[in-house]
Chain A
Amino acid sequence: DSGVTQTPKHLITATGQRVTLRCSPRSGDLSVYWYQQSLDQGLQFLIQYYNGEERAKGNILERFSAQQFPDLHSELNLSSLELGDSALYFCASSFEARGTYEQYFGPGTRLTVT
């Protein structure tokens, strides 16, 4: 158990819909990262938040957005869903105090768009 929690574990929805994925980081970690993993794309970095502020952006679509709240939990919002958005979405957290950026991953949310 990494200490990172993600909900829901599975999500099935239709094209055009909007969903919200939730992540709670390990106790004490200030940074949250979101990743998308599909069979043909590998682990793709989407976005990082540090202590409530956006720190880095990766291959995140404009239809996707995220935020980190004062209690440090984070939400990833996916809108106007397409079939190609079906994937595993992982959240990871890190402390970063030593500059090593070790990340601890949650169990993931499996999103299926039909």
Chain B
Amino acid sequence: TQLLEQSPQFLSIQEGENLTVYCNSSSVFSSLQWYRQEPGEGPVLLVTVVTGGEVKKLKRLTFQFGDARKDSSLHITAAQPGDTGLYLCAGARPNNDMRFGAGTRLTVKP
């Protein structure tokens, strides 16, 4: 059982559509990161959220940390083929333990 559950596992959409992916847990995290990984490469850090309720925007990407710091969401507006990849969330627990979710594999078709 994953400490962090990501949903959906797979998502295939058309260019221009909006989407939201989720990262949920029953544990509280001191911080949560989102990463994007392309095939054969290492994950690349997109954002870190620290405060419950925090919202961060990165161009067309909006990240939200739940009020209780147990969950997070990533919303992409007007998706583009370049957004295709594996989106991973990772949580840091108060004991310094880092855990990754299994990821959401996003495909954006032109």
Contact = CB atoms under 8 A, between A and B. Distances in A.
Contacts, number: 61
Interface in B79-110: 88, 90, 92, 96-100, 102-103
Interface stretch (B15-23, B44-52, B56-64, B68-76): B44-52
B29 to A, nearest CB: 10
Q: Is the interface of B mostly helix, strand, loop or mixed?
A: strand
Q: In terms of DSSP, what is the predominant structure of the interface of chain A?
A: strand
Given A43-B88, A102-B48, A103-B33, A55 B96 contact: yes
Contacts of B24: none
B103 A43 contact: yes
Contacts of A33: 98
A105 B98 contact: no
A45 B92 contact: no
B7 interface: no
Given A48-B98, A100-B48, A43 B43 contact: yes
B100 A45 contact: yes
A99 B103 contact: no
Given A43-B103, A45-B99, A103 B41 contact: no
Given A2-B44, A108-B42, A101 B92 contact: yes
Given A43-B88, A99-B31, A103-B33, A56 B97 contact: yes
Nearest to A96: B96
B30 A45 contact: no
Interface of A: 2, 4, 33, 35, 42-43, 45, 48, 55-56, 88, 90, 92, 96, 99-108, 110
Interface of B: 30-31, 33, 35, 40-45, 48, 50, 88, 90, 92, 96-100, 102-103
